[in-house]
Amino acid sequence: MEKRAHPRTAFAAPVYFAGPGHGYQRYTENRSPGGLLIRAGDRIEPGTELTLCYPSQGISLKMKGFVVRSGERGLGLILTATYSPRSLLAPDRRLGELLNAGRFTPMEQFCIRKYLQIYQDLEAGRCKPDSELHHRFVRVCMGLELPRTVHETAYMKWKSNRPGGESDDFASG
C-alpha cells in the first residue's frame, strides 16, 4: 500500500545539490509536489539538509530539502522550500550579469550567489578558516594549490572573469 501523500511522476533531469562540505551533480529519477528522488550512489545521512538547483525551461530553480532515505536507489528527499527565479537574482546587478554570461555552471552560479561574501572574507583574512576545507580554499586563493571543489572552482572562475576596475565587494550590494 502506497504511503505517500503525493503521487510520483517520472522526471529525469540534471540536478546540482550541496550539503555540508560537498557539492554534487546527479540526475533526478522522479518527483512529486512534496519530494524528489535523485539517482546517486552517494550515501548521505538521513536528516541532512541539502540545497538543490536544477535547470528548468531556461531558468534555474532553487530548492531546499531533507534527505529521508539514502540507499542503492538513490536519495529520497522531502522538499521544504522552493524559490522563484526572481528571488535568485543577485542583490548586485553586475554580479547577476557576470554569472549569466554563460561562463558558470548552475552549481557555480549558486555557490557564488550564496557564498561570495564568505569566499572574499576567507581570502582577505577577515574570516578565520575553521576547517581543513577552509584552509585549503585559502591555499587555492594564494595559488599554492589548484582548485578541486565546486567552491574553489567557482570562486577562482569568478575572480578571473569579474570586470576590471570594479569593486571586489559584489556581494554587498
Length of the chain: 173
CATH numbers and ranges of domains, the chain: 9-85 (2.40.10.220), 89-161 (no CATH)
What mean pLDDT, rounded, does the chain reach?
Answer: 76
**What pLDDT does residue 91 have?**
42
Q: How far is CA 69 from CA 41, 112, 152, in A?
A: 12, 29, 29
- pLDDT-based confidence at residue 3 (cuts at 50, 70, 90): low
pTM for the predicted model, two decimal places: 0.46
Residue 83 has a pLDDT of 56
Asked whether residue 154 carries a pLDDT value surpassing 70, the answer given is yes
Residues 81 and 63 sit within 8 Å (Cβ to Cβ):
yes
> Nine-digit cell at 43?
550515501
Q: Which of 78-82, 91-95, 122-126, 163-167 has the highest mean pLDDT?
A: 122-126
Q: Where are the alpha helices (DSSP H) in the chain?
A: 93-99, 106-124, 132-141, 150-161
d(CA 26, CA 8): 19
Predicted local confidence at residue 161, as pLDDT: 77
CB 72 within 8 A of CB 94: no
Question: CA 103 to CA 147: how far, in whole Å?
Answer: 16
Using the predicted structure, report yes or no on whether residue 58 has a pLDDT greater than 70: no
Helix axes 150-161, 132-141, angle to 10 degrees: 30
Q: Is the pLDDT confidence value at 108 over 50?
A: yes
Side chain identity at residue 130, one-letter code: D
- Give pLDDT, residue 139: 92
Indicate the pLDDT class of residue 172, thresholds 50, 70 and 90: very low
pLDDT band per the 50, 70, 90 thresholds, residue 137: very high
CA angle 156, 159, 163 (to 5 degrees): 155
